[in-house]
Structure 1
């Protein structure tokens, strides 16, 4: 599986989970379970990207569409991952279905939606243009294996974007 296709499939699943939360608005128990699953999925997804996608993008990318460089794309992505994680963690401290919980969930959805559109437009485009298919498939299999291993509870460590870029360039 091409890592680009794996990431796009994950993005569809993330959108699905956020939509499911809206559908379950009147059921706090379901909200809590679905959001816990979504939070763990978001964390594992971000970590998998940071292990297998962004290091290669930093080495081979040049920037695409409205991004001037792979470094700019990566900096934005790591910062986005941190914001998504912070909003998800805040939601976990609130009662599912409460106004405070929805405020945190909506913030998480906002940051995630922004991230998905930027990543799809910039990083994934740059990756398809610059990384050969054989390498994308190899990375995709590693990415899937990581997500499979971490499909339960997972918590990603927040990263400093500048340090991450320095360590992975």
Structure 2
């Protein structure tokens, strides 16, 4: 597996969780469960992606600006998650914040998949793409396992 496939698999999970959450209404128990899963996925993904994809692309002139932009968007997503954490889940404001998060995440994923991956594909060789995928997936597993231990 190449890094782009590994990242896309997690992007699909994130899109699905966002879609499910956006369709929730008064059922805060289900909302809480799906939100915790989404938050864990987003946070773990950002850590693993920055360590095992972005860090290698900061070294390349062709990808440094796209990499910095991606890291900045991860920070914006973190801030939106904090805003959701601070808002009562049964409040209409919570769903508004979630929709803002959904727009930001979907924009970020589209940026990566439609532009960043193509440029990165030109600066990484096949061996690097496979190695980065292995490292990314190992980190994701570790992050998710750590989250289960602290939950």
Normalising by structure 1, what TM-score? 0.81
Higher share of residues assigned helix: 2
Matches within 5 A, 1:120-131: 120-131=113-124
Structure 1 CA distance for aligned equivalents of residues 23 and 94 of structure 2: 16
Large movers: runs of 4+ above 6 Å = none
CA contact (8 A) 2:44 2:144 kept: yes
Q: 2:87 aligns with which of 72, 86, 94?
A: 94
Look up the match of 1:165: none
Measured after TM superposition, the shift of residue 31 of structure 1 is 0.6
| Mean CA deviation greater in 5-14 or 99-108 | 99-108
Matches within 5 A, 1:50-65: 50-60=50-60, 62=62
Structure 2 CA distance for aligned equivalents of residues 6 and 112 of structure 1: 17
Determine if the alignment matches structure 1 residue 144 to structure 2 residue 144: no
Which whole-Å deviations, capped at 9, do the CAs of 1:23-44 have from their partners, x for residues lacking one? 3324211011101110111011
Determine if the alignment matches structure 1 residue 111 to structure 2 residue 107: no
Measured after TM superposition, the shift of residue 76 of structure 1 is 1.1
Describe the SS at the equivalent of 2:59: helix
Structure 2 CA distance for aligned equivalents of residues 17 and 97 of structure 1: 18
Determine if the alignment matches structure 1 residue 8 to structure 2 residue 8: yes
Gaps of 5+ in 1: 63-69, 155-169
CA contact (8 A) 1:61 1:127 kept: no
Gaps of 5+ in 2: none
